[in-house]
A and B are shown apart, each in its own frame.
Chain A
Amino acid sequence: MEVKLLSEHYEKPEFQKLEGYKKHGGYQVLSKALKMDPKAIIEEVKASGLRGRGGAGFPTGTKWSFLPANGEPRYLLCNADEGEPGTFKDRLMMERAPHQLIEGMLISAFAIGSKKSYIYIRGEYDYPIAVVRAAIGEAYKAGYLGKNILGSGFDHDMDVYAGAGAYICGEETGMISSLEGLKGQPKLKPPFPAIQGYLRKPTIVNNVETLAAVKYIIRDGAAAYRKYGTEKSAGTKLFSVSGNVVRPGNYEVPLGIPLKTLINDVCGGLRPGRQLKAVIPGGSSAPVLTAEESWKVTMDYEALAQMGSMLGSGAVIVIDDSNNMVDMLSVLMHFYHHESCGQCTPCREGTGWLNKIVHRILHGHGETKDLDLISKVAQQMMGKTICALSDAAAMPAISFVTKFRDEFESHIRKGGHTAQVRGAAHA
């Protein structure tokens, strides 16, 4: 069930402001960290088993250790673009606890020796942008940012950069391009950002939740953090549960919790009289799970990978039997077609192609062989491009048409006239 580590004080309005934050132990971990050896902080984070909460699940401490030993300047970027459909946890964290993020970032920046950080927030997040900006202002005034923080000799500056709302700017190199003032397009790797990132300088990009979690790892120690979660998926995670559950919302639970518990106990279960049809467990890019798979799986990186899906950003989209899977897929394909940056040919052309096929099926002009074509096209989009957007579009396409093939075929047979299609009830 729920474990409130990061989200302990999220319900309290005062936690948003510096004064209220300090009342609940705010910035005490920072002063502890500033007395530590930066290397010890990195070791602690490594020992905690913390993995990137943005989607890829890469071990955070290991990522930090890719930075070259020397070399200034180096940048810490907080990825608050949160573009993955279904995800809304970073928004909550920034709105309710901006100082928690700032403190986590300061500890991380101190650990990696960075004097400048940016929080890249998606442009649609008007309110979080305002809240975080205000919090940074407070932190500067109180001496938590700027020169010689808490008398430690550590200098750090922090800024908010508002994106323009492109999904691709949540990809770390796409975000770096955008931050540099370029068109938001991922960069070729190598070089990796840890070697040549923002302004071609060593750069670390971490998700909001990852950076906030660093604070609790340093406060309680790696061992305490490891008490939550599983061996390889340590700690707690905020899941953004949406869709057909009684109480959708953000819930902090230990990793490894059964999806069944999350849906039924934490979120109040399905609506009365409804059957579970499918769950997208980790944001719209994650391959969909059937009901049967969903009731079996636990929410950790390994179990989901074993099931052929992924934990992703922790956006759980619950789909009950009132939904049509062709309709669902058409929405996803529209999204990826719209958001492909257009750099790499397989993605640029593939997302458009898939979108057209799926919409043709949706509107009753599909043929059964189109389903095989979707799989073939999507298969060829995977692992072929600079970033993972192409894979992100391909994975749901393949999983939808293979796992729900009967439904697609029946939709094709009925010439698109399936009752559950969006808007059909009003037509």
Chain B
Amino acid sequence: MPKIKINGKEVEVPQGSTVIQAFKAAGQDICHYCWHPGLSVAGVCRLCMVQIEGMPRLQIACNTEVKDGMVVNNTSEAVKETVRWGMDFHLINHPLDCPICDQAGECGLQEQYMQFGSYDPEMAEPKVKKHKVVDLGPTVVLDSERCILCSRCVRFTDEVSKTHELGIFNRGDRSEIGVVEGKPLDNNYSLNTVDICPVGALTSKDFRFRQRVWYLKDADSICPGCSTGCNVKVHYNEEGLWRVKPRYNPDVNGYWMCDSGRDTYKFVNVQTRLLAGKIGQRGSWAEKSPAEATRSVAQRLNEVVEQSGPDAVAVVVTGQYTNEEYADLFKFLVQDLKVKNIFHWLNNPEKTTEFDGLLLRGDLNPNTQGLEGAFKANVGKGNWEDLQVGLSGGKIKLALVFGPENQSSFPDIKEKVQMLSQAQSMVWFTACHSADLDEAGCETWQIPLKTYIEKSGSFTNFQGKVQTFKVGTTVVPQALTVSEVCELLAGRDLNWALRPKSLGGAKANYATTHRGAL
């Protein structure tokens, strides 16, 4: 591996690395816009200029391959001056609308101007006028005046999504990003272009004008949208979750995630959540605290097991919970209660092996592998036909359902509610309220559960890779995890002092239910 000296610091980098990669490896700051580690080299922003000993001219670090013994710096006055001017060239026609720009606070221009620019601008000419509020497609809006033409978004649609919607039209300082008429930016990865846009040129319709980014906190998590398990960052404040962005993991998702995964913040917010335990059936529901409601479930469970034995209990589980929750659940059901009738509720089973070629998999559960593992370790998976027979024959008295957390990926909720209503009573553990469930025709408990961002645990993705995550924030503090449900069902109490509290009042958050418009 070649060795290279960067600003006096020696690093060893893999053969074929570029100088800019070596800068990153050495932990040295280098100014750049157009270079992105997940895309090809464009070499157009001309900001990653470095001085290489033995070369008369400054070189761009992104297109220069490391050679053994290279001595490179970007701290000489010549480089600094060039970078300052490079910044100025980027900024002379850039609008000064930071106060109303969504990118402000996480903007490459702002940050790098402070770090590498800080000059007195001399531009006194009228700025170039370009198109504003260009509707590129269902998810993304373009402001051409803010665009610095780094071409990252174009390269993304060419190289990653391979959908080729975006291009640079016109020449010189009239150049603008655009789409061809009739072919909008409409693919399931379109919002990655917003992430990689170093300025506020591309904004997400879903997020623009919703929040100032400096009012948001973020937490690392795993996307629960499908079995790929993309590593994500969830951005939230006391009002709830506002957006999900990808987090780099070379083994799973690289730098990207799909647009449908980005919607997984929506069902977490209070508007869609089940906030209290509900007991009753169609037309008459009584509310209780989740813990109280669960205790009354425990009572009923014990009665049924005592009177009719554990075979009178059927349990339906979806692949939406953590490995730790499955372990507790199966331990309680199989070892303590001796329940044998446990069924795997798999949404769209005919599509589970589908794959879009990039990230999104047909299995829209984050932890099908974990659930399968729990079945294997404890008890065989129940057969749905047996369940039907048991229900219609009256053998099954009580059905416990650990239902979908993300209801949008379960098209058959109504069908399952109707099927399981054939039992004497049914208990649904669910994060979100469901109109179908409110129409249940038998005695029903609805117990609110926590969502992925409100609990710690791990998901096992399609590769069998176990990915752990921690509590990010708490939206519905009274909701329970499956492990807590098991504790309560077993008649034990929870340590209430240790339970997380809500971060603040739950204000109206219309962004959770409405896809943004222009």
Contact = CB atoms under 8 A, between A and B. Distances in A.
A299 B122 CA distance: 39
Given A342-B149, A345-B148, A384 B125 contact: no
Contacts of B86: 345-346, 384
A71 B42 CA distance: 27
Given A188-B63, A356-B125, A341 B171 contact: yes
A230 to B, nearest CB: 26
A352 B44 contact: no
Contacts of A356: 125-126
B58 A383 contact: yes
Contact of A386 (B44, B168, B170, B172): B44
A342 B173 contact: yes
Contacts of B85: 346, 380
Given A338-B172, A384-B58, A345 B123 contact: no
A384 B49 contact: yes
Contacts of A386: 43-44
Nearest to A351: B172
Secondary structure type dominating chain A contacts? helix
A349 B82 contact: no
Contacts of B170: 342
Interface in B351-379: none
Most chain B beta-carbon neighbours within 10 Å: one of A337, A338, A343, A356: A343
Interface in A329-365: 337-346, 348-353, 356-357, 360
A36 B45 CA distance: 48
Contact of A352 (B43, B57, B81, B173): B173
Contacts of A340: 171-173
Nearest to B93: A349
A385 interface: yes
Contacts of A12: none
Nearest to A340: B172
B346 to A, nearest CB: 47
A199 interface: no
Interface string B55-94: 0011000010000000000000000011001100110110
A227 interface: no
A368 B57 CA distance: 31
| Interface bin, chain B | 20 to 34
A56 interface: no
B237 interface: no
A212 to B, nearest CB: 31
Contacts of B126: 356
A1 interface: no
Contacts of A338: 171-172
Interface string A308-345: 00000000000000000000000000000111111111
B508 interface: no
A386 B57 CA distance: 13
Given A349-B89, A383-B58, A344 B46 contact: yes
Given A341-B171, A342-B149, A342-B172, A352 B128 contact: yes
B419 interface: no
Contacts of A353: 89, 92, 123, 125
Given A183-B168, A343-B44, A345-B45, 19 more contacts: A166-B171, A188-B42, A188-B43, A338-B172, A339-B171, A339-B172, A340-B173, A342-B149, A342-B174, A343-B42, A344-B46, A345-B86, A349-B173, A353-B123, A353-B125, A357-B125, A380-B82, A380-B85, A385-B46
Interface of B: 41-47, 49, 57-58, 63, 81-82, 85-86, 89-90, 92-93, 122-123, 125-126, 128, 148-149, 168, 170-175
Interface of A: 166, 183, 188, 190, 337-346, 348-353, 356-357, 360, 373, 376, 380, 383-386
28 contacts: A183-B168, A188-B63, A338-B172, A339-B172, A340-B172, A340-B173, A342-B174, A343-B149, A344-B45, A346-B85, A348-B173, A348-B175, A349-B92, A349-B93, A349-B173, A351-B172, A352-B128, A352-B173, A353-B123, A357-B125, A373-B122, A380-B81, A380-B85, A380-B89, A384-B46, A384-B49, A384-B86, A386-B44
